[in-house]
Structure 1
Amino acid sequence: MPADPAAALDILATRPLVVLTGAGLSTDSGIPDYRGPQAPARMPMTYQEFVSGPAARQRYWARSHLGWGRMRRAEPNAGHHALARIDPTLLITQNVDGLHERAGSRQTVALHGRIAEVVCLGCREVSSRAALQDRLAELNPGWVRAHADAELRPDGDVALEDTAGFVVPACARCGGVLKPDVVFFGENVPRERVALCMDAVDALVDVGGMLLVAGSSLTVMSGFRFVRRAARAGTPVVIVNRGATRGDDLASYRLELGTSEFLTALAQRRG
């Protein structure tokens, strides 16, 4: 498992690529990651907890109201812009922040959805998170100002224990429960989304392509499955991440580097 950045850049410079990104790609945009070397232990809300009752949803939306106001101001960093220039066959991201799309990446699959959208669990209508933010602000005046120092977390919320009194609106169409249109822990990624990504990884075999992983610890199966699939087919895998990953033993090249610097160098090499 070589760790030579120059050798990895040489081989990646001319090969067709599928790229898988994780939270480490967005840390340079000010969004913390879950499992980086300096990341504290975090317990995100599961789907089962979210649907367990009003108290859990109050806790989620009270935190999310604060976190979304900050996350939506995040800007794409050099790594996002570099990937837009690289323009891989498919860009698979585990991130929900939408920064790849804002940077101009075209062939993108948001594996876990996008935090900028909200879905009703009753009528399944999808609506804008920005519109919900306005409703939350109207129902909870002063909430943001009172908790301005709460710590931002990777999934678009903040660290806050006391959420008593926060008012959560229902779906304006049917009165149902509103949920961010993202895949929570305990939910499955939609099958058609997985199939699209698997097909792109499988196609690398016929074109001599490679799978590049940038900024993911690969701890969750939703991303790790693609590394395992590529390795089984004999497709070279390059992993660029600060900290160990679940796929290290499967990697042809494993680089302990920041994603922004490496991807910028790769974009320059690929012209």
Structure 2
Amino acid sequence: MRMRPTLSWTPSEDPPPATTDPGPVADALGTGGVLVLTGAGISTESGIPAYRGEGGSLTRHTPMTYQDFTASAQARRRYWARSHLGWRTFGRARPNAGHRAVEAFGRHGLLTGVITQNVDGLHQAAGSDGVVELHGNLARVVCLDCGDTGSRDGLARRLEEANRGFEPVAAAMNPDGDADLTDRQVGDFRVVPCARCGGILKPDVVFFGESVPARRVERCRELVGEATALLVLGSSLTVMSGLRFVREAARAGKPVLIVNQEPTRGDRYAVTRIALPLGAALTAVAERLDIPVDGRPTA
């Protein structure tokens, strides 16, 4: 592997012009110690849509909020009907070249960690270790009453039993794992309770309007402190849960590099933004570093 000089960066009020040269990312990774922060854009090549940008789900879909979910039985019925249908597709998604490249960088000792804003578990499926799931994981469910946790596949089997013949055709799929259904399609969908206490089940993810657990945030801050640079992959950085780590890295004088095809809220803190599809960009970076991307089988 060819080693490259460390990048330096001075804060600026003006964002850098977008480029299609992945060289700066290779430079940063070549010296090691890079922390990766990923968003929905890294999973679009696996068939999971993004929230924002052209064609993003927020142009037609309002995600469930924590307040609505906990306050309304009808909201929970609507959520679980849509999510149950969406899980059939979401749960079959597989890692793409971007996830495999991140795994390869970690396996070669170039990363201090991976933080993901995604709830799809695809980094782990690609083989990455120690991933911090900032917003949780749709593959788990938690009881809001007793705190018991379980697998989404187990819940899916219970929902299938309770809703035989539930086969609506969804208009679209969303990045939070649910499908677009009308109230008529939802109908009298039956929501099942916690098998342990009869309480309310919720996916083990952070809904809109819900706070990321404090210990999780602190762990991310520790990773920012340990890193030499922050590499943001496929995130618009619109929400503060991810942007705050970009700001912290910038305040510490650490270079922030962004790979995203469209402008992001964090561009003004970055040394560069590479406007390329993630799979192609990260594969090109791996080639520059003489790192094989498909060195480990994926789930």
2:170 and 2:181 in contact (8 A); partners too: no
Pairing partner for 2:273 from 224, 248, 254: 254
Matched, 1:33 2:50: yes
Q: Does 1:178 align with 2:201?
A: yes
SS at 1:246's partner residue? coil
Q: Is the 8 A contact 1:89 1:107 kept in 2?
A: no
Residue 114 of structure 1 corresponds to 137
Q: CA deviation at 1:150?
A: 3.3
Partner in structure 2 of residue 83 of structure 1: 102
Which residue does the alignment assign to 1:14?
Answer: 30
Q: Distance in 2 between matches of 1:264 and 1:185?
A: 33
Equivalent position to 2:63, from 27, 44, 48 = 44
Shift of 1:78: 0.5
Cα displacement (A) at 1:36: 2.4
Q: Give me the TM-score of the superposition, normalised by structure 2.
A: 0.86
- Provide, for residues 56-103 of structure 1, a one-character-per-residue CA deviation record: whole Å limited to 9, x for no partner: 100000000100011011110000011000012110000000000000
Partners of 1:63 and 1:158 within 8 A in 2? yes
TM-score by length of 1: 0.94
Q: Distance in 2 between matches of 1:10 and 1:216?
A: 19
* Number of residue pairs matched by the alignment: 265
How large is the Cα RMSD of the aligned pairs? 1.3
Residues 150, 136 of structure 1: alpha-carbon distance in 2 compared, 3 angstrom cutoff:
farther
Matched with 2:260 is: 241
The ranges of structure 1 where at least 4 consecutive aligned residues each deviate by more than 3 angstroms after the TM superposition are none
Distance 1:45 1:149, change over 3 A: closer
Match of 2:235 among 205, 216, 219: 216
Deviation at 1:6, TM superposition (A): 4.2
C-alpha distance after superposition, 1:161-204 (max 9, x if no partner): 22221000111110100000000011111111111111111122
| 1:52-131 map, 5 Å | 52-87=71-106, 88-131=111-154
Match of 2:6 in 1: none
Residue identity opposite 2:74 in structure 1? A
1:106 shift after superposition: 0.8
1:24–1:36: 8 Å Cα contact kept in structure 2? no
Counterparts of 1:166 and 1:97 in 2: how far apart (Å)? 24
- The runs of 5 or more residues in structure 2 that have no matched partner are 1-15, 292-299
Q: Which residue of 2 aligns with 1:154?
A: 175
**Contact residue 13 and residue 269 of structure 1 kept, 8 A:** no
**Cα–Cα, structure 1 residues 168 and 22, in superposed 2: closer, same or farther, change >3 Å?**
same
1:268 pairs with 2:284:
no
Say whether 1:200 aligns with 2:223.
yes
Moved more, 155-164 or 212-221: 155-164
- The amino acid that maps onto 1:5 is D
User: Which residue of the partner structure matches residue 159 of structure 2?
Assistant: 136
Q: 1:109 to 1:6 in 2, by over 3 A?
A: closer
Q: Which runs of 5+ in 1 are unaligned?
A: none
- 1:155 partner amino acid: D
